[in-house]
């Protein structure tokens, strides 16, 4: 073939190649263009739902103009002429920032998640339908004052104004699109139901009662009682004998027959640099995105000027300060939940025995709608004591009908208390407001600019003739098992201006044995309180910065107690070189749970392994889930065995030396497999990390990438340090801790210092979505003022 022919043949091929390349490039270009258009469309759609923080907006239901200034930390400062306009604006702004969270909260508490999630949420819905938090909220609504009902209605009006606008503009948060539903109208009962859910979250001890019942049913009494909850001997209480404030009339009273943790403290001006009280509070709750708290500042023309945090979906400020006073809480953890064993009529499953007569129970039909499934017919049965919860009590309820009596299921008036607390100017007014705060029972600390510091264990606490009664289910058919009223309000533990110059609480035991009423059998381990008290007792001239440092303190007093004990027990034990290296490292430890240190990694895993060694083969995992005092009970049996006392649980495993060595051996094997042979390179933070997961991030890795927004961050502390960072034992993920940190020096009531982890907004494209995540880990507080807020300004205008 000649050259010309070859050229003629090759030309079409070359043209075909060029044409193919053009087509391919053109196709790729079209795909890229389509992808770009889709990206821009989706990006624009998502951005439509970002909170509006600037400009003007019309809210026809307002009477007057409302200004909302969002400061550099994402805190909305709402300034209104009237309370009505202020609460409408608060409802609108909360919804604009947290509507999806609010929707999930009311659905979870109401037992209606299955409607939007599907069958995966069915068991959870059954549990909350059984408890009846929404039914309790409906009962509460009926007893609220007209003024409080107005506040609830005003707030709901604001939430609904946002929803109507967002639906009309197709600007609801993207989560609603992903889950393919829209929120329905907000009602006052929704807000109260969320409040009742917080009572559930800070709950009671019925699970421990069920576990105790299981113990006695499966073990000899001596062995069973070893795991019953008890507080370590000679450990501090919040109030001392000489500090108990009991009404003088108590001696004439007829005594009837018959613990999620937190830190707070107040320091008197005698121990501060400013000469005025300091207050610090960091409630420990679940850590997630968005935060359980929303920080806000509310100001109205009738004199209200209050700043702090509130649960999304609820009006007012529940924790914070105004221009005269500041307050904070920890969970009291009293015995407010009681299981009753019920005798069912064999001829009528809805009748139960009481005092030799059959009583008809209340039967409620609670049909549960299930997305992409059939509606489930569910029935709730309530005895005189409360709902039947046997199906949720695992082995303890297998052959027993158990009902639950719980103070939170009664009508209560916490919103009225919040309204009064927000406006209080001193301790007397504040304490009057507290009388309406019934559930959950909380340890309130208080400080004011008149120099007062105070404390009250506040709430509705049942009277038991014998506190041991609250350890086990009671006989539901006997009148003598009924609660005999509640501790009178003026006899609740109270301390005002103590001589020692501070008051601190950390879910530890409140009162000494001389206190005339039973409060609880279940207290947090004393380590956080002991460390806080150790610091506050050790010096004077404290500043707000010192209080911030104390909230971030990572000193582990549990390790300080047990490491020497473990070393002594194992001093004559034959150990491997690596086990010796581990004990040597622990002996050099300063007991600070630093994220870069190997010792807390070794110690925490050792404690976990000890628990597994003792219980794993004996107690089914399903029952260990109900064993809420597992850490405390383990520490108690270790103390007993190490001191030479008999502990059946330890002896059954070969004795204290065998238990500790087996657990250490398992610990070193696990850590070496995970982190390598070089112990000096191990770091607590390689295991112990925080991320703040969004509730939808588990659906797919792509959603996790966008919604979690940040990599997990190594963090120090532990579940027993003042910087509380409790974690999932399987993954090391920190999932419980300081949901909000707050410090104030009452010498300047205009200023407070805060951290809201991981941020203020619920929208993943917002600048305030995860901006406080590193601050939470490092302890960087932001200042929020009651006067002169600066930032982006949004004006809400009334309709013409």
Element (H, E) at 142: helix 133-143
Token pair in block for residue 574: 């034959």
For residue 350, the SS3 value is: strand
Q: Six-digit token pair at 223?
A: 């062995």
Whether 739 is catalytic is no
Q: Say if residues 369 and 428 touch (Cβ distance below 8 Å).
A: no
What residues contact 669, with CB distance under 8 A and at least 6 apart?
A: none
Question: 700: which 2 tokens?
Answer: 């797919």
Asked if 282 and 738 touch (Cβ cutoff 8 Å), the reply is yes
DSSP states of 375-407:
PB--EEEE-SS-BB-GGGSGGGGSSSEEEEEEG
CA dihedral 660, 665, 667, 673 (to 10 degrees): 180
Rounded Cα gap, residues 661 and 195, in angstroms: 47
Contact 200, 194 (CB under 8 A): no
Whole-number Å distance between alpha carbons of 585 and 565:
15
Region of 459 (left: φ > 0; alpha: ψ -120 to 50; beta: rest) is left
**CA–CA dist 631, 524 (Å, integer):** 10
Q: From CA 674, how far away is CA 159, in angstroms rounded?
A: 49
H or E stretch including 794? strand 792-797
- State which H helix or E strand residue 309 sits in: strand 305-311
Count of CA atoms in the C-beta half-sphere (13 A) of 27: 5
Which of the residues 105, 140, 171, 262 is marked catalytic?
262
For the chain, the helix, strand and coil percentages under 3-state DSSP, each to the nearest 5: 40, 20, 40
Element (H, E) at 763: none
Structure token pair of residue 147? 């003024």
- Residue 176 sits at φ, ψ, to 5 deg, of -65, -40
Three-state secondary structure call for residue 197: helix
Q: What is the 3-state secondary structure (H, E, C) of 475-515?
A: ECCCHHHCCCCECCHHHCCEEECCCCCEEEECCCCCCCCCC
DSSP SS3 for 105: helix
Alpha-carbon dihedral sign for residues 773, 774, 779, 781: negative
Identify the CA nearest to 582 among candidates 516, 672, 653: 672
Q: How far apart are CA 542 and CA 777, in angstroms?
A: 23
- 270 labeled binding residue: no
**H helix or E strand, kind and range, residue 83:** helix 83-110
Q: Which residues pair with residue 475 across a beta bridge?
A: 341
Q: Cα(60)–Cα(161) distance, rounded to whole angstroms?
A: 9
Using CA atoms in the order 134, 138, 140, 141, what is the torsion angle rounded to 10 degrees? 130
> Would you give the end-to-end CA distance of the chain in angstroms?
90
Q: Which residue has the tokens 């599907």?
A: 118
Q: Please check whether residue 476 is in contact with residue 343, taking contact to mean a CB–CB distance below 8 angstroms.
A: yes
Distance CA 431, CA 420 (A): 9
What SS3 state is found at 520? coil
Give the C-alpha distances (Å, rounded to integers) separating 780 from 176, 768, 771: 33, 15, 11
Name the binding residues for Ca(2+).
335
- Binding-site residue set: 335
Name the residues annotated as catalytic.
Answer: 262
């Amino acid at each position: 073939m000649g050259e010309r022919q070859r050229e003629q043949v090759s030309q079409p091929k070359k043209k075909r190649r060029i044409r193919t390349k053009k087509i391919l490039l053109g196709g790729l270009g079209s795909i890229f263009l389509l992808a770009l258009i889709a990206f821009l469309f989706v990006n624009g759609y998502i951005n439509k739902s970002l909170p509006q923080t600037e400009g003007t907006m019309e809210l026809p239901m307002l009477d007057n103009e409302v200004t909302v200034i969002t400061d550099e930390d994402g805190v909305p400062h709402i300034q209104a002429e009237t309370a009505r306009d202020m609460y409408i604006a608060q409802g609108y702004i909360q919804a604009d920032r947290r509507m999806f969270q609010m929707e999930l909260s009311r659905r979870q508490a109401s037992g209606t998640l299955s409607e939007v999630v599907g069958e995966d949420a069915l068991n959870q819905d059954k549990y909350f339908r059984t408890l009846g938090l929404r039914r309790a909220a409906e009962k509460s609504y009926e007893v609220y004052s007209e003024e409080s009902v107005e506040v609830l209605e005003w707030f709901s009006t604001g939430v609904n104004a946002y929803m109507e606008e967002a639906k009309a503009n197709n600007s609801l948060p993207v989560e609603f699109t992903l889950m393919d539903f829209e929120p329905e109208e907000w009602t006052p009962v929704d807000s109260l139901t969320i409040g009742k859910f917080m009572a559930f979250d800070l709950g009671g001890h019925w699970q421990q009662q069920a576990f105790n019942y299981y113990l006695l049913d499966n073990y000899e009494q001596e062995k069973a009682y070893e795991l019953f909850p008890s507080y370590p001997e000679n450990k501090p209480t919040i109030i001392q004998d000489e500090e108990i404030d009991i009404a003088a009339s108590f001696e004439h009273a007829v005594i009837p027959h018959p613990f999620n943790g937190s830190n707070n403290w107040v320091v008197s001006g005698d121990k501060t640099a400013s000469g005025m009280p300091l207050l610090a509070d960091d409630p420990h709750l679940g850590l997630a995105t968005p935060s359980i708290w929303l920080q806000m500042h509310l100001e109205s023309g009738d004199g209200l000027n209050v700043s702090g945090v509130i649960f999304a979906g609820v009006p007012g400020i529940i924790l914070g300060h105004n221009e005269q006073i500041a307050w904070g809480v920890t969970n009291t953890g009293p015995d407010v939940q009681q299981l009753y064993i019920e005798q069912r009529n064999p001829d009528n499953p809805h009748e139960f025995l009481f005092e030799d007569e059959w009583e008809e129970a209340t039967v409620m039909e609670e049909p549960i709608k299930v997305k992409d499934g059939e509606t489930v017919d569910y029935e709730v049965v309530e005895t005189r004591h409360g709902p039947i919860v046997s199906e949720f009590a695992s082995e303890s309820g297998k052959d027993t009908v158990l009902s639950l009596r719980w103070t939170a299921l009664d009508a209560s008036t916490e919103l009225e208390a919040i309204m009064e607390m927000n406006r209080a100017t001193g301790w007397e007014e504040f304490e009057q407001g507290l009388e309406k705060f019934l559930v959950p029972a909380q340890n309130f600390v208080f400080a004011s600019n008149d120099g007062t510091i105070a404390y009250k264990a506040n709430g509705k606490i049942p009277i038991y003739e014998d506190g041991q009664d609250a350890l086990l289910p009671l006989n539901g058919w006997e009148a003598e098992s009924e609660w005999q009223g509640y501790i009178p309000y003026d006899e609740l533990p109270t301390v005002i201006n103590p001589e020692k110059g501070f008051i601190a609480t950390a879910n530890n035991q409140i009162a000494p044995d001389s206190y005339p009423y039973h409060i609880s059998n279940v207290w947090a381990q004393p380590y956080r309180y002991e460390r806080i008290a150790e610091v506050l007792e050790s010096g004077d001239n404290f500043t707000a910065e010192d209080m911030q440092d104390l909230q971030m303190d990572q000193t582990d007093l549990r390790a300080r107690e047990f490491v020497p004990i473990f070393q002594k027990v194992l001093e004559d034990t034959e150990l491997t070189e690596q086990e010796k290296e581990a004990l040597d490292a622990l002996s050099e430890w300063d007991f600070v749970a630093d994220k870069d240190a190997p010792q807390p990694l070794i110690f925490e895993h050792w404690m976990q392994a000890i628990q597994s060694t003792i219980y794993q083969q004996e107690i089914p995992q399903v029952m260990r889930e109900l064993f809420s005092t597992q850490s405390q009970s383990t520490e108690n049996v270790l103390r007993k065995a190490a001191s030479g006392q008999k502990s059946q649980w330890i002896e059954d495993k070969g004795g204290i030396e065998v238990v500790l060595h087996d657990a250490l051996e398992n610990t070193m094997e696990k850590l070496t497999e995970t982190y390598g042979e070089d112990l000096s390179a191990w770091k607590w933070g390689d295991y112990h990390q925080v991320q703040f997961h969004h509730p939808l991030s588990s659906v797919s890795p792509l959603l996790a990438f966008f919604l979690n927004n940040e990599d997990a961050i190594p963090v120090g502390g532990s579940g027993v340090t003042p910087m509380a960072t409790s974690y999932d034992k399987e993954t090391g993920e920190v999932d419980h801790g300081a949901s909000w940190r707050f410090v104030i020096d009452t010498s300047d009531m205009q200023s407070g210092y805060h951290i809201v982890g991981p941020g203020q907004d619920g929208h993943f494209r917002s600048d305030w979505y995860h901006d406080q995540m590193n601050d939470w880990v490092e302890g960087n507080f932001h200042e929020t003022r009651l006067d002169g807020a600066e930032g982006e300004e949004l004006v809400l205008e009334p309709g013409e």
